[in-house]
Amino acid sequence: MNRNNFLIHFAIALVLITIAGVLGQIDRWRSGLRPATSETRDLARNNSGEAKQFRADAEPEVLVRFKPGVSRTEIERLTRRFNDRIEDRIEYVRGLKSIDDLDNADPETVAAQYRAMTDMVEYAEPNFRIETDLPDFRPVAERRDEAPVNSPNDPYFNDQWALFNSGENGGKSRADIDAQKAWELTKGSEEVVVAVLDTGVDYTHPDLVANMWTRPDSVPQYSDAQLGTFNDRFGFNAQSNLADPMDDNGHGTHCAGVIGAEGDNDLGIAGVNWNVQIMPLKFLGRGGFGTTKDAIEAINYAIDRKQNGVNVRIISASWGSTQYSKALEDAIRAAGENGILFIAAAGNSSTNNDSRPHYPSNYDLPNVISVAALDRNDSLSSFSNYGAKTVHVAAPGRDIVSTWLKESFREASGTSMATPHVSGIAALMIAADPEITVETLRKRLLAATDKIDSLSGKVFSGGRINAAKALDR
Protein backbone atom coordinates (compact mmCIF):
# COMPACT_ATOMS: atom_id res chain seq x y z
CA MET A 1 0.00 0.00 0.00
CA ASN A 2 1.48 3.34 -1.01
CA ARG A 3 1.70 6.31 1.34
CA ASN A 4 -1.22 8.17 -0.18
CA ASN A 5 -3.57 5.18 0.11
CA PHE A 6 -2.45 4.61 3.70
CA LEU A 7 -3.23 8.22 4.64
CA ILE A 8 -6.68 8.02 3.02
CA HIS A 9 -7.60 4.81 4.90
CA PHE A 10 -6.25 6.23 8.15
CA ALA A 11 -8.37 9.36 7.77
CA ILE A 12 -11.51 7.30 7.08
CA ALA A 13 -10.85 5.19 10.16
CA LEU A 14 -10.53 8.28 12.33
CA VAL A 15 -13.84 9.64 11.04
CA LEU A 16 -15.62 6.35 11.74
CA ILE A 17 -14.19 6.15 15.27
CA THR A 18 -15.30 9.73 15.97
CA ILE A 19 -18.85 9.06 14.71
CA ALA A 20 -19.13 5.92 16.84
CA GLY A 21 -18.01 7.82 19.91
CA VAL A 22 -20.56 10.57 19.33
CA LEU A 23 -23.39 8.07 18.84
CA GLY A 24 -22.38 6.24 21.99
CA GLN A 25 -22.38 9.48 23.93
CA ILE A 26 -25.88 10.30 22.60
CA ASP A 27 -27.14 6.92 23.73
CA ARG A 28 -25.59 7.40 27.17
CA TRP A 29 -27.13 10.88 27.38
CA ARG A 30 -30.57 9.60 26.42
CA SER A 31 -30.45 6.74 28.87
CA GLY A 32 -29.40 9.18 31.56
CA LEU A 33 -32.67 11.04 31.13
CA ARG A 34 -34.46 8.15 32.84
CA PRO A 35 -32.15 7.07 35.67
CA ALA A 36 -32.86 3.98 37.71
CA THR A 37 -34.03 5.95 40.74
CA SER A 38 -35.25 4.19 43.88
CA GLU A 39 -38.81 5.05 42.80
CA THR A 40 -38.28 3.42 39.43
CA ARG A 41 -36.71 0.30 40.97
CA ASP A 42 -39.53 -0.03 43.51
CA LEU A 43 -42.10 0.43 40.76
CA ALA A 44 -40.51 -2.29 38.67
CA ARG A 45 -40.56 -4.68 41.64
CA ASN A 46 -44.16 -3.89 42.57
CA ASN A 47 -45.59 -3.98 39.05
CA SER A 48 -44.76 -7.47 37.99
CA GLY A 49 -47.20 -9.56 36.01
CA GLU A 50 -50.45 -7.77 36.65
CA ALA A 51 -49.34 -4.25 35.71
CA LYS A 52 -47.61 -5.45 32.60
CA GLN A 53 -50.68 -7.49 31.68
CA PHE A 54 -52.78 -4.37 31.51
CA ARG A 55 -50.14 -2.12 29.96
CA ALA A 56 -50.74 -1.01 26.40
CA ASP A 57 -47.76 -2.84 24.91
CA ALA A 58 -48.25 -1.41 21.44
CA GLU A 59 -48.61 2.17 22.68
CA PRO A 60 -45.60 3.48 24.60
CA GLU A 61 -47.60 6.24 26.19
CA VAL A 62 -48.24 7.76 29.59
CA LEU A 63 -51.04 9.89 30.98
CA VAL A 64 -49.80 12.91 32.91
CA ARG A 65 -51.88 15.46 34.78
CA PHE A 66 -50.01 18.72 35.31
CA LYS A 67 -50.71 21.01 38.24
CA PRO A 68 -52.77 24.19 37.83
CA GLY A 69 -50.63 27.10 36.77
CA VAL A 70 -48.09 25.06 34.80
CA SER A 71 -47.89 26.77 31.42
CA ARG A 72 -48.02 25.12 28.04
CA THR A 73 -44.49 26.38 27.38
CA GLU A 74 -43.21 24.67 30.54
CA ILE A 75 -44.96 21.42 29.62
CA GLU A 76 -43.54 21.45 26.10
CA ARG A 77 -40.06 22.22 27.42
CA LEU A 78 -40.28 19.24 29.81
CA THR A 79 -41.53 16.80 27.17
CA ARG A 80 -38.75 17.85 24.77
CA ARG A 81 -36.20 17.32 27.54
CA PHE A 82 -37.47 13.74 27.93
CA ASN A 83 -37.64 13.24 24.13
CA ASP A 84 -41.43 12.88 24.31
CA ARG A 85 -44.30 14.58 22.55
CA ILE A 86 -47.79 15.57 23.59
CA GLU A 87 -50.16 13.37 21.61
CA ASP A 88 -53.38 14.89 22.97
CA ARG A 89 -54.88 16.87 25.82
CA ILE A 90 -58.11 15.82 27.49
CA GLU A 91 -60.31 18.90 27.41
CA TYR A 92 -62.65 18.01 30.27
CA VAL A 93 -59.94 16.95 32.75
CA ARG A 94 -57.88 20.08 33.15
CA GLY A 95 -54.16 19.53 32.84
CA LEU A 96 -54.40 15.90 31.64
CA LYS A 97 -52.14 15.07 28.70
CA SER A 98 -51.53 11.94 26.69
CA ILE A 99 -47.78 11.76 26.06
CA ASP A 100 -45.96 9.64 23.52
CA ASP A 101 -42.45 8.50 24.41
CA LEU A 102 -40.25 8.63 21.31
CA ASP A 103 -37.57 6.39 22.84
CA ASN A 104 -39.98 3.48 23.38
CA ALA A 105 -38.88 3.23 27.01
CA ASP A 106 -40.81 1.14 29.51
CA PRO A 107 -44.05 3.04 30.32
CA GLU A 108 -43.68 2.49 34.08
CA THR A 109 -40.22 4.05 33.90
CA VAL A 110 -41.49 7.01 31.87
CA ALA A 111 -44.36 7.57 34.32
CA ALA A 112 -41.95 7.51 37.26
CA GLN A 113 -39.81 10.12 35.54
CA TYR A 114 -42.77 12.51 35.32
CA ARG A 115 -43.91 11.76 38.87
CA ALA A 116 -40.50 12.86 40.08
CA MET A 117 -41.27 16.36 38.78
CA THR A 118 -43.35 17.12 41.87
CA ASP A 119 -43.40 20.87 41.31
CA MET A 120 -45.20 20.42 37.98
CA VAL A 121 -47.01 17.05 38.01
CA GLU A 122 -50.05 15.90 40.02
CA TYR A 123 -49.77 12.31 38.82
CA ALA A 124 -48.45 10.20 35.96
CA GLU A 125 -49.31 6.66 34.98
CA PRO A 126 -48.84 4.21 32.12
CA ASN A 127 -51.55 3.94 29.51
CA PHE A 128 -52.88 0.65 30.86
CA ARG A 129 -54.66 -1.97 28.83
CA ILE A 130 -58.34 -2.64 29.42
CA GLU A 131 -60.40 -5.59 28.27
CA THR A 132 -63.94 -6.82 28.15
CA ASP A 133 -64.90 -9.39 30.73
CA LEU A 134 -65.21 -11.95 27.98
CA PRO A 135 -68.47 -13.87 28.28
CA ASP A 136 -69.47 -17.11 26.66
CA PHE A 137 -71.43 -16.33 23.49
CA ARG A 138 -73.70 -18.94 21.96
CA PRO A 139 -75.94 -18.82 18.88
CA VAL A 140 -79.67 -19.11 19.49
CA ALA A 141 -82.40 -20.58 17.33
CA GLU A 142 -85.45 -18.48 16.54
CA ARG A 143 -88.51 -19.44 18.52
CA ARG A 144 -92.13 -18.41 18.33
CA ASP A 145 -93.63 -19.99 21.43
CA GLU A 146 -96.85 -18.63 22.81
CA ALA A 147 -95.98 -15.50 24.74
CA PRO A 148 -97.57 -14.23 27.95
CA VAL A 149 -100.57 -11.94 27.61
CA ASN A 150 -99.71 -8.35 26.71
CA SER A 151 -96.19 -9.34 25.71
CA PRO A 152 -94.38 -7.87 22.71
CA ASN A 153 -94.38 -9.95 19.54
CA ASP A 154 -90.61 -10.27 19.34
CA PRO A 155 -89.78 -13.93 18.55
CA TYR A 156 -87.14 -14.29 21.29
CA PHE A 157 -89.15 -12.63 24.04
CA ASN A 158 -89.94 -15.98 25.71
CA ASP A 159 -86.19 -16.53 26.03
CA GLN A 160 -85.72 -13.16 27.72
CA TRP A 161 -86.22 -14.46 31.24
CA ALA A 162 -84.57 -11.33 32.63
CA LEU A 163 -87.60 -9.32 31.51
CA PHE A 164 -90.28 -11.92 32.29
CA ASN A 165 -89.42 -15.07 34.24
CA SER A 166 -92.25 -17.59 34.33
CA GLY A 167 -90.13 -20.28 35.97
CA GLU A 168 -89.53 -22.22 32.77
CA ASN A 169 -86.26 -23.98 31.98
CA GLY A 170 -85.46 -24.50 35.63
CA GLY A 171 -85.88 -20.83 36.53
CA LYS A 172 -87.61 -19.18 39.46
CA SER A 173 -90.87 -17.42 38.74
CA ARG A 174 -90.67 -13.62 39.04
CA ALA A 175 -86.88 -13.67 39.27
CA ASP A 176 -86.71 -10.83 36.75
CA ILE A 177 -86.58 -7.03 36.53
CA ASP A 178 -90.39 -6.73 36.28
CA ALA A 179 -90.15 -5.11 32.85
CA GLN A 180 -93.76 -5.61 31.78
CA LYS A 181 -95.12 -3.72 34.78
CA ALA A 182 -92.61 -0.94 34.11
CA TRP A 183 -93.73 -0.74 30.48
CA GLU A 184 -97.23 0.14 31.66
CA LEU A 185 -95.72 3.46 32.75
CA THR A 186 -93.17 4.05 29.98
CA LYS A 187 -91.37 2.17 27.24
CA GLY A 188 -88.66 4.79 27.01
CA SER A 189 -88.09 7.99 25.07
CA GLU A 190 -86.10 8.93 21.99
CA GLU A 191 -85.10 12.07 23.88
CA VAL A 192 -82.80 10.01 26.12
CA VAL A 193 -79.30 9.13 24.89
CA VAL A 194 -77.40 6.19 26.39
CA ALA A 195 -73.73 5.89 25.43
CA VAL A 196 -72.42 2.32 25.14
CA LEU A 197 -68.68 2.50 25.90
CA ASP A 198 -67.48 -0.76 24.43
CA THR A 199 -66.42 -2.45 21.17
CA GLY A 200 -68.76 -0.25 19.16
CA VAL A 201 -72.26 -1.13 18.01
CA ASP A 202 -73.51 -2.61 14.74
CA TYR A 203 -75.71 0.39 14.00
CA THR A 204 -77.12 -1.33 10.90
CA HIS A 205 -78.65 -4.18 12.90
CA PRO A 206 -82.38 -4.30 12.00
CA ASP A 207 -83.42 -4.63 15.66
CA LEU A 208 -81.32 -1.61 16.67
CA VAL A 209 -81.37 0.74 13.71
CA ALA A 210 -84.55 2.57 14.78
CA ASN A 211 -83.00 3.39 18.15
CA MET A 212 -79.50 4.41 17.07
CA TRP A 213 -78.31 7.93 17.79
CA THR A 214 -77.24 10.02 14.83
CA ARG A 215 -75.76 13.46 15.18
CA PRO A 216 -78.38 16.12 14.46
CA ASP A 217 -77.52 18.75 11.87
CA SER A 218 -77.84 21.35 14.62
CA VAL A 219 -74.89 19.83 16.51
CA PRO A 220 -71.45 20.66 15.12
CA GLN A 221 -69.04 17.90 14.19
CA TYR A 222 -66.77 16.76 16.97
CA SER A 223 -63.47 18.58 16.94
CA ASP A 224 -60.30 17.88 18.91
CA ALA A 225 -57.40 20.33 18.90
CA GLN A 226 -54.79 17.58 18.36
CA LEU A 227 -56.78 14.80 16.71
CA GLY A 228 -58.77 16.90 14.24
CA THR A 229 -62.43 17.13 13.24
CA PHE A 230 -64.65 14.06 12.84
CA ASN A 231 -67.86 13.54 10.94
CA ASP A 232 -69.36 11.75 13.95
CA ARG A 233 -72.65 10.82 12.35
CA PHE A 234 -73.05 7.55 14.34
CA GLY A 235 -70.81 8.18 17.34
CA PHE A 236 -67.07 7.99 17.94
CA ASN A 237 -64.22 5.51 17.55
CA ALA A 238 -61.51 6.46 20.02
CA GLN A 239 -59.40 3.43 19.24
CA SER A 240 -58.59 4.45 15.69
CA ASN A 241 -59.44 8.15 16.03
CA LEU A 242 -62.07 7.76 13.34
CA ALA A 243 -65.71 8.67 13.34
CA ASP A 244 -67.02 5.19 12.53
CA PRO A 245 -67.85 3.17 15.70
CA MET A 246 -68.92 -0.01 13.87
CA ASP A 247 -68.59 -3.07 16.09
CA ASP A 248 -66.15 -5.75 14.86
CA ASN A 249 -66.37 -7.89 18.01
CA GLY A 250 -70.04 -8.28 18.97
CA HIS A 251 -69.80 -7.49 22.67
CA GLY A 252 -70.97 -3.88 22.38
CA THR A 253 -73.84 -4.81 20.07
CA HIS A 254 -75.03 -7.40 22.58
CA CYS A 255 -75.01 -4.81 25.39
CA ALA A 256 -76.80 -2.26 23.20
CA GLY A 257 -79.61 -4.71 22.44
CA VAL A 258 -80.32 -5.27 26.13
CA ILE A 259 -80.67 -1.52 26.60
CA GLY A 260 -82.61 -0.61 23.53
CA ALA A 261 -83.53 -3.20 20.91
CA GLU A 262 -86.80 -2.11 19.33
CA GLY A 263 -89.73 -3.79 21.03
CA ASP A 264 -92.88 -5.25 19.48
CA ASN A 265 -91.52 -5.09 15.94
CA ASP A 266 -91.93 -8.81 15.19
CA LEU A 267 -88.14 -9.20 15.13
CA GLY A 268 -85.58 -10.61 17.52
CA ILE A 269 -85.81 -9.31 21.07
CA ALA A 270 -87.29 -6.47 23.08
CA GLY A 271 -84.90 -4.10 24.81
CA VAL A 272 -85.54 -2.71 28.28
CA ASN A 273 -86.33 0.47 26.32
CA TRP A 274 -88.41 0.18 23.16
CA ASN A 275 -87.63 3.80 22.46
CA VAL A 276 -84.22 5.32 23.21
CA GLN A 277 -81.12 6.58 21.45
CA ILE A 278 -77.99 4.41 21.61
CA MET A 279 -74.70 6.28 21.10
CA PRO A 280 -71.79 3.95 20.25
CA LEU A 281 -68.45 4.86 21.83
CA LYS A 282 -65.86 2.43 20.53
CA PHE A 283 -62.55 2.09 22.37
CA LEU A 284 -62.17 -1.70 22.42
CA GLY A 285 -61.00 -3.48 19.29
CA ARG A 286 -61.82 -6.75 17.56
CA GLY A 287 -60.10 -8.78 20.29
CA GLY A 288 -61.87 -6.91 23.11
CA PHE A 289 -58.82 -4.90 24.19
CA GLY A 290 -58.29 -1.17 24.54
CA THR A 291 -56.46 1.39 26.67
CA THR A 292 -57.30 3.82 29.42
CA LYS A 293 -56.37 6.71 27.13
CA ASP A 294 -58.92 5.61 24.54
CA ALA A 295 -61.61 5.09 27.20
CA ILE A 296 -60.93 8.62 28.45
CA GLU A 297 -61.05 9.98 24.90
CA ALA A 298 -64.47 8.38 24.43
CA ILE A 299 -65.78 9.74 27.74
CA ASN A 300 -64.43 13.14 26.75
CA TYR A 301 -66.44 12.85 23.51
CA ALA A 302 -69.65 12.08 25.43
CA ILE A 303 -69.13 15.13 27.66
CA ASP A 304 -68.47 17.32 24.63
CA ARG A 305 -71.66 16.14 22.93
CA LYS A 306 -73.58 16.79 26.14
CA GLN A 307 -72.25 20.33 26.26
CA ASN A 308 -73.27 20.78 22.63
CA GLY A 309 -76.90 19.94 23.25
CA VAL A 310 -77.02 16.12 22.99
CA ASN A 311 -78.96 14.64 25.91
CA VAL A 312 -76.33 12.05 26.95
CA ARG A 313 -77.46 10.92 30.40
CA ILE A 314 -75.90 7.47 30.88
CA ILE A 315 -72.65 5.71 30.01
CA SER A 316 -72.90 1.91 30.12
CA ALA A 317 -69.49 0.25 30.66
CA SER A 318 -69.20 -3.55 30.49
CA TRP A 319 -65.44 -3.99 30.90
CA GLY A 320 -62.69 -3.50 33.43
CA SER A 321 -59.29 -4.18 34.95
CA THR A 322 -57.70 -4.59 38.36
CA GLN A 323 -55.32 -1.74 37.52
CA TYR A 324 -56.20 1.58 39.16
CA SER A 325 -56.11 4.61 36.86
CA LYS A 326 -56.40 8.04 38.43
CA ALA A 327 -56.83 9.58 34.97
CA LEU A 328 -59.83 7.36 34.18
CA GLU A 329 -61.32 8.17 37.58
CA ASP A 330 -60.98 11.89 36.85
CA ALA A 331 -62.66 11.47 33.46
CA ILE A 332 -65.62 9.61 35.00
CA ARG A 333 -65.87 12.27 37.70
CA ALA A 334 -65.99 14.93 34.96
CA ALA A 335 -68.84 13.00 33.31
CA GLY A 336 -70.77 13.10 36.58
CA GLU A 337 -70.19 16.83 36.92
CA ASN A 338 -71.82 17.11 33.50
CA GLY A 339 -74.90 15.14 34.51
CA ILE A 340 -73.91 11.68 33.23
CA LEU A 341 -74.46 8.50 35.27
CA PHE A 342 -71.74 5.84 34.82
CA ILE A 343 -72.91 2.22 35.20
CA ALA A 344 -70.12 -0.37 35.32
CA ALA A 345 -69.76 -4.15 35.36
CA ALA A 346 -68.41 -5.57 38.62
CA GLY A 347 -66.30 -8.19 36.81
CA ASN A 348 -66.30 -11.93 36.20
CA SER A 349 -63.54 -13.28 38.46
CA SER A 350 -65.72 -14.62 41.31
CA THR A 351 -63.80 -12.33 43.66
CA ASN A 352 -64.65 -9.84 46.39
CA ASN A 353 -64.19 -6.31 45.03
CA ASP A 354 -63.99 -4.96 48.58
CA SER A 355 -60.60 -6.63 48.98
CA ARG A 356 -59.48 -6.93 45.34
CA PRO A 357 -60.71 -3.82 43.51
CA HIS A 358 -62.00 -3.92 39.97
CA TYR A 359 -62.09 -0.71 37.92
CA PRO A 360 -63.98 1.34 36.89
CA SER A 361 -66.71 -0.28 39.01
CA ASN A 362 -64.77 0.35 42.24
CA TYR A 363 -64.37 4.09 41.82
CA ASP A 364 -65.99 5.73 44.84
CA LEU A 365 -67.74 8.45 42.87
CA PRO A 366 -71.27 9.83 43.22
CA ASN A 367 -72.12 8.97 39.60
CA VAL A 368 -70.89 5.34 39.56
CA ILE A 369 -73.02 2.21 40.00
CA SER A 370 -71.40 -1.24 40.11
CA VAL A 371 -73.43 -4.24 38.91
CA ALA A 372 -73.22 -7.95 39.80
CA ALA A 373 -74.84 -10.76 37.80
CA LEU A 374 -77.68 -13.13 38.75
CA ASP A 375 -78.94 -16.33 37.15
CA ARG A 376 -82.59 -17.17 36.46
CA ASN A 377 -82.97 -18.60 39.99
CA ASP A 378 -82.07 -15.26 41.62
CA SER A 379 -78.69 -16.67 42.70
CA LEU A 380 -75.46 -14.78 42.34
CA SER A 381 -73.83 -16.18 39.19
CA SER A 382 -70.79 -18.33 39.92
CA PHE A 383 -68.54 -16.05 37.84
CA SER A 384 -69.79 -12.75 39.26
CA ASN A 385 -67.69 -10.48 41.44
CA TYR A 386 -69.35 -9.18 44.59
CA GLY A 387 -68.69 -6.80 47.48
CA ALA A 388 -70.89 -5.56 50.29
CA LYS A 389 -69.34 -2.10 50.10
CA THR A 390 -68.28 -1.69 46.47
CA VAL A 391 -70.80 -3.64 44.37
CA HIS A 392 -74.09 -1.80 44.53
CA VAL A 393 -76.82 -3.85 42.90
CA ALA A 394 -77.43 -7.11 41.03
CA ALA A 395 -79.21 -7.75 37.74
CA PRO A 396 -79.80 -10.73 35.42
CA GLY A 397 -76.57 -11.68 33.69
CA ARG A 398 -76.60 -15.37 32.77
CA ASP A 399 -78.01 -16.79 29.52
CA ILE A 400 -79.04 -13.41 28.17
CA VAL A 401 -80.29 -13.31 24.56
CA SER A 402 -79.52 -10.14 22.63
CA THR A 403 -78.44 -8.66 19.32
CA TRP A 404 -75.21 -9.68 17.57
CA LEU A 405 -73.34 -8.77 14.43
CA LYS A 406 -74.84 -9.00 10.96
CA GLU A 407 -78.52 -9.25 11.86
CA SER A 408 -77.98 -12.19 14.21
CA PHE A 409 -78.75 -12.89 17.89
CA ARG A 410 -76.71 -14.69 20.54
CA GLU A 411 -76.90 -15.78 24.14
CA ALA A 412 -74.20 -14.61 26.56
CA SER A 413 -73.36 -14.55 30.25
CA GLY A 414 -71.41 -12.07 32.35
CA THR A 415 -71.66 -8.94 34.46
CA SER A 416 -71.32 -7.36 31.01
CA MET A 417 -74.91 -8.49 30.40
CA ALA A 418 -76.18 -7.45 33.83
CA THR A 419 -74.89 -3.89 33.45
CA PRO A 420 -77.04 -2.86 30.45
CA HIS A 421 -80.17 -4.04 32.27
CA VAL A 422 -79.45 -1.40 34.92
CA SER A 423 -78.53 1.15 32.25
CA GLY A 424 -81.81 0.42 30.49
CA ILE A 425 -83.82 0.91 33.68
CA ALA A 426 -82.03 4.20 34.33
CA ALA A 427 -83.05 5.33 30.83
CA LEU A 428 -86.69 4.44 31.58
CA MET A 429 -86.50 6.56 34.73
CA ILE A 430 -85.18 9.54 32.79
CA ALA A 431 -87.92 9.08 30.19
CA ALA A 432 -90.47 9.29 33.00
CA ASP A 433 -88.72 12.19 34.76
CA PRO A 434 -86.53 14.12 32.30
CA GLU A 435 -85.34 16.60 34.94
CA ILE A 436 -84.06 13.98 37.36
CA THR A 437 -80.50 14.65 38.59
CA VAL A 438 -77.65 12.16 38.63
CA GLU A 439 -77.72 12.09 42.42
CA THR A 440 -81.45 11.36 42.60
CA LEU A 441 -81.26 8.85 39.75
CA ARG A 442 -78.54 6.87 41.48
CA LYS A 443 -80.29 6.99 44.86
CA ARG A 444 -83.59 5.73 43.41
CA LEU A 445 -81.89 2.97 41.44
CA LEU A 446 -80.14 1.60 44.52
CA ALA A 447 -83.42 1.70 46.45
CA ALA A 448 -85.46 0.02 43.69
CA THR A 449 -84.60 -3.57 44.48
CA ASP A 450 -86.21 -6.85 45.45
CA LYS A 451 -84.29 -8.03 48.50
CA ILE A 452 -82.72 -11.46 48.12
CA ASP A 453 -81.35 -13.35 51.11
CA SER A 454 -78.41 -14.77 49.17
CA LEU A 455 -77.26 -11.24 48.25
CA SER A 456 -77.10 -10.07 51.85
CA GLY A 457 -73.46 -9.24 52.53
CA LYS A 458 -72.69 -9.66 48.83
CA VAL A 459 -73.95 -6.39 47.33
CA PHE A 460 -74.57 -3.02 48.91
CA SER A 461 -78.32 -2.89 48.20
CA GLY A 462 -78.86 -6.55 49.06
CA GLY A 463 -81.11 -6.99 46.06
CA ARG A 464 -81.94 -7.35 42.38
CA ILE A 465 -82.90 -4.24 40.45
CA ASN A 466 -86.64 -3.87 39.76
CA ALA A 467 -87.73 -1.60 36.91
CA ALA A 468 -91.29 -1.16 38.15
CA LYS A 469 -90.08 -0.07 41.59
CA ALA A 470 -87.61 2.32 39.98
CA LEU A 471 -90.48 4.07 38.21
CA ASP A 472 -92.74 4.12 41.27
CA ARG A 473 -92.29 7.55 42.82
321 shares a domain with 272:
yes
Query: Quick one: 97 and 149 in the same domain?
Result: no
Residue 436 domain-assigned?
A: yes
* Distance between CA atoms of residues 348 and 124, nearest Å: 28
For the chain, how many structural domains are there in total?
2
The pLDDT value recorded for residue 44 is 28
Instruction: State which of 127, 152, 173 marks the end of a domain.
Output: 127
Same domain, 83 and 185: no
Residues 123 and 152 in one domain: no
Are 226 and 365 part of one and the same domain? Answer: yes
Based on the fold, state whether residues 116 and 181 are members of the same structural domain.
no
Task: Please report whether residue 170 resides in a domain.
Answer: yes
User: Exposure of 72 by Cβ count < 10 A (0-12 exposed, 13-18 middle, 19+ buried)?
Assistant: exposed
Last residue of a domain, one of 127, 156, 190: 127
Residue positions annotated with a catalytic role: 198, 251, 416
pLDDT for res 27:
36
Give the CATH number of the domain where residue 363 resides: 3.40.50.200
Structural domain containing residue 110: 51-127
Q: Which of 279, 254, 304 is nearest to 195 (CA)?
A: 279
CA distance readout (Å), 149 to 158, 164, 180, 257, 309: 12, 11, 10, 23, 40
| Residue 26, domain member (yes or no) | no
Assess if residue 157 is contained within a domain: yes
Of 127, 146, 179, the residue that ends a domain is 127
6 domain-assigned:
no
Together in a domain, 117 and 164: no
Residue 323 resides in a domain: yes
pLDDT tens for the chain, 473 residues long, are 443 443 344 444 444 444 444 334 333 333 233 322 222 222 222 332 323 333 334 454 899 999 999 999 999 999 999 999 999 999 999 999 999 999 888 999 999 999 999 999 999 999 999 988 655 666 665 554 555 557 899 999 999 999 999 998 889 999 999 999 999 999 999 999 999 999 999 999 999 999 999 999 999 999 988 888 999 999 999 988 778 999 999 999 999 999 999 999 999 999 999 999 999 999 999 999 999 999 999 999 999 999 999 999 999 999 999 999 999 999 999 999 999 999 999 999 999 999 999 999 999 999 999 999 999 999 999 999 999 999 999 999 999 999 999 999 999 999 999 999 999 999 999 999 999 999 999 999 999 999 999 899 999 999 999 999 999 86
**Residues 165 and 281 placed together within one structural domain of the fold:** yes
CATH code: domain of residue 74: 3.30.70.80
pLDDT at 38: 26
Tell me: do 209 and 276 sit in the same domain.
yes
Together in a domain, 301 and 223: yes
Q: The whole model's pTM is what? A: 0.86
Same domain, 281 and 383: yes
Residues 31, 35: Cα–Cα separation, whole Å: 7
**Residue 38, domain member (yes or no):** no
Residues 77 and 109 in one domain: yes
- Domain-located, residue 35: no
